[in-house]
């Protein structure tokens, strides 16, 4: 095992610091299954009306290329389109691109675009829109996801309905890069300049943007010119209801039709409640703690391992999500193609004490930084603090609003913190940016040359089994080094009224409303 005393990546812009929590994307162009969607009564029910959806918080921006906040994409998933999109099995299916080809040398991908698509402002969609959008997406001074396109040297127009991506190395997961989530949405170039994308949203998707009332709601309207099937409701209101029990109460009274903000302690009871429909799938999210490698004694591998041995992941998962979460020790859930069967950290307080003694550490107090944006992490941290106390480690829990938390993280003002990554459906997005010594989100400052080598090899492998083996080997090393101490993966849960039909609980966690109806 290497002792990891790597330096924190320096000189990152505020844009990168804001990307601490990001909805990471889906599988490469392999068709590997990542789960199933739950589609309830999709062919029945009426149409029209206003669908009211309760979400826990509001977007940080309406600019899909800039935002890194999950609520942004819960809303704008229904406004914008990407070239391709995840299917129910997490393979990729056509969206604005109808088909694509890869050159023999694997360095050119050609996408053929859908005909007769119009923007919400009435203009025809075409190749110029794709080129302009990706020029912006690939600009690291602007967009949060530029790092996904390190291998793309150019996106060029072939004709009005054809574009090419030129690469400097094979990129087997390019479909995930261009279409895994709406952070890579195609936008109208005329709105790129100024604040057009930040103050409104003009897409090609099933719903058009109507209004945003901060602190209250966002309203969308049906797009009658949508190129796909649906939508089947006239309007959608996304209401911001932070407290899960309040969201559920509003659902029961009929003030809300659908919510993803379900109290975890009530999920099992709701499964038997005839007044509420419940959809539940294992997610591909994970939550973890990590420590600051620039601070002593956290640059000592034995200390980090001691902290990991001290925690009981089963108890932590229960505290955070009751029975709606699974304890984990790696980034990929057990149902994922990319899962790594490696769990070296049993709950072993004596091993923890021995490692602290070996490191010559006593009387340690940890500044554990949390954000109130994710209340379940506060509950988890209380258990962590109790279990660390059992091995002689004191804890100062520091809870901040998310903006302050991000500032502190970017400045390195913490000992350890708890956070999560969402929708980790591909090995590269679970490991490379977070644990490569040059990774865009390696805020902890981890560095291991062998991990770097394995991650670099994995990202260019065209055989999925070989890719998976490389990521698994890297994962075992970084887990041993405690770059992250993985804790639990929660279920994706939606609750809705029985009068709402066609709700899809998708394994990528997105709330797609184009097929939803309100009926008797």
Could you tell me the CATH number of the domain that includes residue 319? 3.10.105.10
Torsion, Cα of 210, 120, 76, 50 (10° steps) = 50
Task: Read off the pLDDT of residues 309-329 as tens digits, 9 standing for 90 and up.
Answer: 999 999 999 999 998 999 999
State the DSSP code for 20: G
CA separation for the pair 510, 421 (Å, rounded): 14
Residue 5, pLDDT > 50, answer no
pLDDT band at 31 (very low <50, low <70, confident <90, very high): very low
pLDDT at 331: 92
Yes or no: say if 409 and 445 are a contact pair by the CB < 8 Å rule. no
CA separation for the pair 355, 305 (Å, rounded): 7
Residue range 232-247: mean pLDDT, rounded? 95
Yes or no: say if 467 and 473 are a contact pair by the CB < 8 Å rule. no
DSSP notation for 43-54: T-S---SEEEEE
> Is residue 442 included in any domain, yes or no?
yes
- What is the number of alpha carbons within 13 Å of residue 19 lying toward its C-beta? 27
Yes or no: say if 334 and 283 are a contact pair by the CB < 8 Å rule. no
From 14-28, 113-127, 161-175, 182-196, the region with the lowest mean pLDDT: 14-28
Q: Which residues, other chains included, contact 246 with Cβ-Cβ below 8 Å and sequence gap of 6+?
A: none
CA separation for the pair 221, 50 (Å, rounded): 9
Burial of 99 (0-12, 13-18, 19+ CB in 10 A): exposed
pLDDT at 28: 31
DSSP notation for 359-405: TT--S-EEEEEEETTSHHHHHHHHHHHHHHHTTT-EEEEEEE-HHHH
pLDDT band at 510 (very low <50, low <70, confident <90, very high): confident
Yes or no: say if 298 and 291 are a contact pair by the CB < 8 Å rule. yes
pLDDT at 172: 92
> Is residue 233 included in any domain, yes or no?
no
pLDDT at 8: 34
Task: Read off the pLDDT of residues 430-445 as tens digits, 9 standing for 90 and up.
Answer: 899 999 999 989 999 9
**Between 190 and 509, the higher pLDDT residue:** 190
Domains: count for the chain = 1
Q: Which residues, other chains included, contact 272 with Cβ-Cβ below 8 Å and sequence gap of 6+?
A: none
Chain centroid to CA 403: how far?
A: 18
CA separation for the pair 406, 69 (Å, rounded): 12
Yes or no: say if 236 and 78 are a contact pair by the CB < 8 Å rule. yes
Paired strand residues for 494: 279
> Is residue 432 included in any domain, yes or no?
yes
**Between 251 and 507, the higher pLDDT residue:** 251
Cα–Cα nearest to 424, from 505, 484, 308, 337: 337
DSSP notation for 171-193: -TTHHHHHHSSGGG----GGGTS
Using a pLDDT cut of 90, give the percent of the chain over it. Answer: 70
Average pLDDT score, the chain: 88
CA separation for the pair 82, 229 (Å, rounded): 16
The enclosing H or E element of 488 equals: strand 485-496
Task: Read off the pLDDT of residues 404-462 as tens digits, 9 standing for 90 and up.
Answer: 998 999 999 999 999 998 877 788 888 999 999 999 899 999 999 999 999 999 999 98
pLDDT at 420: 92
Task: Read off the pLDDT of residues 64-84 as tens digits, 9 standing for 90 and up.
Answer: 999 877 888 999 999 999 999
> Is residue 20 included in any domain, yes or no?
no
167 SS3 class: strand
pLDDT at 520: 55
> Is residue 37 included in any domain, yes or no?
no
> Is residue 98 included in any domain, yes or no?
no
From 9-13, 176-180, 218-222, 228-232, the region with the lowest mean pLDDT: 9-13
Handedness of CA 142, 169, 427, 431 (dihedral sign): negative
Residue 17, pLDDT > 90, answer no
Task: Read off the pLDDT of residues 269-300 as tens digits, 9 standing for 90 and up.
Answer: 898 899 999 999 888 889 999 999 999 999 99
Where in the sequence is the domain holding 462, given as residue range(s)?
Answer: 284-491
Q: For residue 459, what are its two tokens? A: 């990202």
Residue 23, pLDDT > 90, answer no
> Is residue 477 included in any domain, yes or no?
yes
Q: Among all chains, which residue has been given the structure tokens 């149902």?
A: 335
State the DSSP code for 23: B
pLDDT at 332: 82
pLDDT at 30: 32
Q: Which residues, other chains included, contact 357 with Cβ-Cβ below 8 Å and sequence gap of 6+?
A: none
CA separation for the pair 70, 63 (Å, rounded): 13
pLDDT band at 88 (very low <50, low <70, confident <90, very high): confident
Residue 29, pLDDT > 80, answer no
pLDDT at 57: 86
> Is residue 308 included in any domain, yes or no?
yes
Q: For residue 372, what are its two tokens? A: 């109130």
CA separation for the pair 177, 173 (Å, rounded): 6
pLDDT at 65: 94
pLDDT at 467: 93
Paired strand residues for 53: 238, 258
- Taking only Cα atoms into account, the Rg of the chain, rounded to an integer number of angstroms, comes to 23
- Which residue stretches of 402-460 are H helix? 402-411, 427-435, 449-458
């Amino acid at each position: 095992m290497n002792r990891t005393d790597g330096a924190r990546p320096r000189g990152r812009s505020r844009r990168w610091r804001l990307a601490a929590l990001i909805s990471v994307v889906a599988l490469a162009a392999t068709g590997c299954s990542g789960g199933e969607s739950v589609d309830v009564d999709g062919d029945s029910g009426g149409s029209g009306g206003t669908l009211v959806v309760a979400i826990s918080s509001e977007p940080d921006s309406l600019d899909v290329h800039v935002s890194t906040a999950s609520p942004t994409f819960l809303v704008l998933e229904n406004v914008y389109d990407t070239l391709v999109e995840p299917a129910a099995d997490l393979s990729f299916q056509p969206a604005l691109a109808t088909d694509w080809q890869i050159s023999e040398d694997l360095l050119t991908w050609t996408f053929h675009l859908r005909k007769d698509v119009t923007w919400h402002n009435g203009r025809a969609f075409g190749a110029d829109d794709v080129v302009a959008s990706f020029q912006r997406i690939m600009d690291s001074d602007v967009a949060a996801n530029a790092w996904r396109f390190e291998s793309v040297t150019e996106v060029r127009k072939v004709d009005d309905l054809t574009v090419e991506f030129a690469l400097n190395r094979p990129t087997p997961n390019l479909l995930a890069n261009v279409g895994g989530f709406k952070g890579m949405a195609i936008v109208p170039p005329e709105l790129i300049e100024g604040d057009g994308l930040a103050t409104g949203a003009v897409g090609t998707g099933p719903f058009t943007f109507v209004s945003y009332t901060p602190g209250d709601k966002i309203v969308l309207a049906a797009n009658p010119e949508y190129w796909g099937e649906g939508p089947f409701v006239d309007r959608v209101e996304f209401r911001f209801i932070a407290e899960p029990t309040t969201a559920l109460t509003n659902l029961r009274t009929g003030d809300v039709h659908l919510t993803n903000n379900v109290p975890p302690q009530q999920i099992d009871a709701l499964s038997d409640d005839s007044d509420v429909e419940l959809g539940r799938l294992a997610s591909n999210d994970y939550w973890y703690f990590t420590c600051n490698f620039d601070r002593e004694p956290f640059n000592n591998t034995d200390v980090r391992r001691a902290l990991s041995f001290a925690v009981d992941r089963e108890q932590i998962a229960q505290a955070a999500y009751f029975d709606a979460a699974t304890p984990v020790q790696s980034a990929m859930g057990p149902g994922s193609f990319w899962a790594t069967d490696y769990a070296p950290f049993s709950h072993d307080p004596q091993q923890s004490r021995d490692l602290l003694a070996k490191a010559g550490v006593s009387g340690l107090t940890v500044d554990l930084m949390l954000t109130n944006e994710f209340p379940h992490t506060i509950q988890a941290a209380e258990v962590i603090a109790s279990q660390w106390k059992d091995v002689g480690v004191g804890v100062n829990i520091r809870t901040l609003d998310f903006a302050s938390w991000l500032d502190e993280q970017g400045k390195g003002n913490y000992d350890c913190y708890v956070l999560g990554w969402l929708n980790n459906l591909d090995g590269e997005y679970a490991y490379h940016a977070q644990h490569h010594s040059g990774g865009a989100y390696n805020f902890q400052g981890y560095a291991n040359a062998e991990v770097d080598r394995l991650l670099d090899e994995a990202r260019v492998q065209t055989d999925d089994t070989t890719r998976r083996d490389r990521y698994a080997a890297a994962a075992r090393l970084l887990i041993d080094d405690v770059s992250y101490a993985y804790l639990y993966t929660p279920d994706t849960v939606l609750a809705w009224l029985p009068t709402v039909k066609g709700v899809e609980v998708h394994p990528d966690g997105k709330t797609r409303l184009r097929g939803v109806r309100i009926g008797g």
